[in-house]
């Protein structure tokens, strides 16, 4: 992989001023400003087409359906996720969905039998998620994410707009949303849910590392259940997982 592009740091006052502005805007208006004004032609969204992905995808489709959507196909996804992606792409009229995956050389070197997940989840995430995404986002100056503060401890204090160490901006328009907000938006706009949600999968990733959430369980307790892992690495600034 070629060396990463290092972008200049944000100008003085840019991030605090924009965060102050975005705090008073709806998620839709945050997206509109980011897509049409702040980062026009240089912004995309990374989407897992998971349990709540339809919310941001619906908002973006109403602003600019040609906004690039990066879909990370790890090779370990549920079939339901792939079919859901196809359904949403057609339903919302998204015209630039880019499916990316792990490099064959990385798989041959580190996961030739396809079972790395069973002994090294961090290593599996690194070759199937972190490295492919790093290649795919190289040309973007800003990325939209669906992260919410309530999801994990690491996300509890994140800003609506951030800048990573390589200078790329990260926009989190749903940062302040709660579960009820997500549910209300989907119901209000009559949007289709991921088919696994009704079976108790509340946060959906790769098939081997995703399980149903038991009654009373935490929202993300079905991800890497039984371990202290709660991030795959694609949203952590830096090379580590």
> Which amino acids are annotated catalytic?
232
Q: How far from each other are the two terminal CA atoms of the chain, in whole angstroms? A: 18
Residue 150 CA: distances (Å) to CA of 13, 159, 177: 27, 13, 8
Strands (E), 85-226: 97-100, 142-144, 161-163, 169-171
Overall residue count recorded for the chain in this entry: 241
Please report which helix (H) or strand (E) contains residue 43, including its range: strand 43-47
Strand pairing of 142-144 and 161-163?
unpaired
**Tally of helices (H runs) and strands (E runs) in the chain:** 8, 6
Instruction: Report the C-alpha dihedral over residues 19, 37, 55, 159, rounded to 10 degrees.
Output: -20
Helix axes 79-92, 53-63, angle to 10 degrees: 20
């Amino acid at each position: 992989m070629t060396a990463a592009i290092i972008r200049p740091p944000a100008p003085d006052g840019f991030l605090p001023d924009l965060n102050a502005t975005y705090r008073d805007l709806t998620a839709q208006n945050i997206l509109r400003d980011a897509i049409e004004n702040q980062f026009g032609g240089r912004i995309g969204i990374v989407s897992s087409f998971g349990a709540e992905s339809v919310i941001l995808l619906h908002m973006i489709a109403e602003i600019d359906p040609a906004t690039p959507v990066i879909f990370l196909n790890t090779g370990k996804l549920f079939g339901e996720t792939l079919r859901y992606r196809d359904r949403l792409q057609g339903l919302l009229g998204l015209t630039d969905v880019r499916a990316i995956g792990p490099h064959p050389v990385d798989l041959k070197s580190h996961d030739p039998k396809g079972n790395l997940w069973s002994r090294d989840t961090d290593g599996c995430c690194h070759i199937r998620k972190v490295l492919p995404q790093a290649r795919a986002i190289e040309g973007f100056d800003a990325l939209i994410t669906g992260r919410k503060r309530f999801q994990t401890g690491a996300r509890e204090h994140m800003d609506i707009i951030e800048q990573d160490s390589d200078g790329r901006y990260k926009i989190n328009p749903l940062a302040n949303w709660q579960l009820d907000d997500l549910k209300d938006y989907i119901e209000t706009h009559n949007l289709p849910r991921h088919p696994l949600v009704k079976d108790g999968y509340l946060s959906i990733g790769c098939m081997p590392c995703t399980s149903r959430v038991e009654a009373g369980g935490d929202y993300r307790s079905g991800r890497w259940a039984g371990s202290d892992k709660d991030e795959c690495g694609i949203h952590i600034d830096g090379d580590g997982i």
